[in-house]
Amino acid sequence: MSLYREKYQALVTLLEQLRPDATTTQIDVPELRRCVASLQQLFAKEIVPLANQDSRVQSYQTEISKQLRLLEIDVMFFQGARQASTVETRLQTISDRLTTLIQYCDAILQPEAEGEK
C-alpha cells in the first residue's frame, strides 16, 4: 500500500470514528474541536505535501481543505446553539459534512484501489 493511500485511509478512519460521536446531543464540544483540529493537521501536514500531479486529486484536495474549514465553523455554531431544534440542525450539518469528506476521500482512493486488482 502506498504512503499516499495510507494517509488518505487514515483520514477516512478518523472521519468515520468521529461521525457517530457527532450525532449525539451529549457530545463533548472541546473534544469535538480537538478532533477537528487533528483532522486538519493530518491533512495539512501529512497529505497535502505528498506530491500528486493528478488534477482530479488536486481538485478533491481543495474541496477537502474547504470542507474541513467549514466543519470547524459548524462546530463553533453547534457550540453556540441553545435551542434543541438548533442543536439538532447543527448536528445534522456536522454529520453531513463528515459524510461529504468521507466520500471525497473514497473518490480519491477508488481509482487506485481498482488499479491494484
Say whether pLDDT at 1 is over 60.
no
List b or e across 16-35, with b for residues whose CB sees 16 or more CB atoms inside 10 angstroms. eebbeebeeeebeeeebeeb
Identify the pLDDT of residue 62.
Answer: 93
Q: What is the pTM of this model?
A: 0.87
Q: How confident is the model over 26-51, as pLDDT tens digits? A: 778 888 899 999 999 999 999 988 87
Amino acid at 83: Q
Residues 52, 6: Cα–Cα separation, whole Å: 14
Q: Is the pLDDT of residue 18 over 60?
A: yes
- Residue 3 pLDDT more than 50? yes
Domains and CATH numbers, the chain: 3-116 (1.20.120)
Cα-Cα-Cα-Cα dihedral sign, residues 22, 93, 102, 11: negative
